[in-house]
Amino acid sequence: MNFVEALKLSSQILRRMPRPSQVVNAAKFAYNYCVCGCRQKVLRYNPVSVGVFVTFKCNIRCAKCFSRCVNSREFADMDFTVSDFDRLLKSDFSRDAVRVSFVGGEPLVHRDLFEMIWMAHRDSKLTMFPTNALLIGQRIDELAKSPVDAIQISVYNEHKGRQFEAMELLRSKNSKVSVCLSHWVTRETYLEAEDVIVSALDMKANSIVIQNFLPQQGGDPSPDDISSIITDGDSHIIEYFLELKRRYGKKISLSLPSPLVPVSRRHCPQPSIAVFIDRHGNLFPCCLATPANPRYGNIYKDVDVWNGGVFKALRSDFVSSFPVLKECEHCCLGSDYVRPFI
């Protein structure tokens, strides 16, 4: 996040008329982020962002889905209810957060998504959700009237035409919502990045994120999956991304993937910013570390999970030794290469 983006975010937060405790919580986070580089191990603030796994159901099946929980029968009854969300908003753990993200699965599958967005809005919280956009047409009336602040559309080659049509419809009905396009590339497909950037400019998207991560389908990753990860040895790919940054960086907010670096050089800000929660209060230390695990903690049953257990260990580990989570081994989000994105 650069200075201009930080100012825009601060302005958005203040327009929500936050409670004094939210302002203090955000200020403590800002000090840790800007002054300490998110390297404090014990935090004197609560999460500033809470990610809600609102559903694990999805309207499409992607071979390279980031989560092994999506469309799994094991998690079919894990949809957040309105009462679940009301309980979360009133909890000490998330009361002072300034943002709620509704993740999945495909959030637009959930019938009560927009009711929960209104609840978060009335609680002085910014709201966003990622989506494949294919259901926008079916829910455009609700979306047009909702106070949602941001939407991130995951662009897939096989659905690109329908997704761009959905974005144009969204823009015609709700011009205020901030739209980010995201696209997953690999070591083999990294050249796709420029086409998506150009499309984002044409459709007046607010930002674009090009991602590179290891899909989680259960079990150990295959050699092909591991070989798809861009590392700091791929100098030609890094130079290509830097050239894209030079060419388009002043035209649109542009994030490009950091290459995977050795563990000793990693630093992940995630455990100092946000948590992800299921309907029962079980925690996920990262949206890529699914499903929830008892050792991650539960906000309704455990004391100070934010400064204990896995979260404290993650903050310590990323500045000392090998990460405590298996999912971190091939994750680029903790790469300290112009952190967290090029």
What residues pair up with 101 in beta bridges, in sequence order? 51, 128
DSSP H helices in 174-220: 192-202
Torsion angle of the four alpha carbons 72, 77, 83, 86, in this order, in degrees rounded to the nearest 10? -20
pLDDT of residue 341: 40
Angle, helix 113-122 to helix 82-90, in steps of 10 degrees:
20
> From the first residue on, what is the mean pLDDT of each consecutive set of 10 residues in the chain (342 residues)?
62 86 92 82 93 94 79 89 97 94 95 98 96 97 96 94 95 92 93 95 93 68 82 91 94 87 73 92 85 87 87 75 69 53 40
How many CA atoms lie within 13 Å of 105's alpha carbon, on the beta-carbon side? 28
**Could you tell me which CATH class the domain 3-328 is placed in?**
alpha beta
Structure tokens at 251: 């035209």
pLDDT of residue 339: 37
pLDDT of residue 4: 58
pLDDT of residue 3: 52
pLDDT of residue 216: 58
pLDDT of residue 264: 65
Q: Looking up tokens 């709201």, which residue turns up?
A: 127
Of residues 272, 216, 180, the one with CA closest to residue 62: 216
- Is the distance from CB of 54 to CB of 328 less than 8 angstroms? no
Of residues 89, 146, 88, the one with CA closest to residue 112: 146
What residues pair up with 179 in beta bridges, in sequence order? 151
Q: Where are the domains of the chain?
A: 3-328
- As to burial, measured by CB atoms within 10 angstroms (0-12 exposed, 13-18 middle, 19+ buried), residue 285 is buried
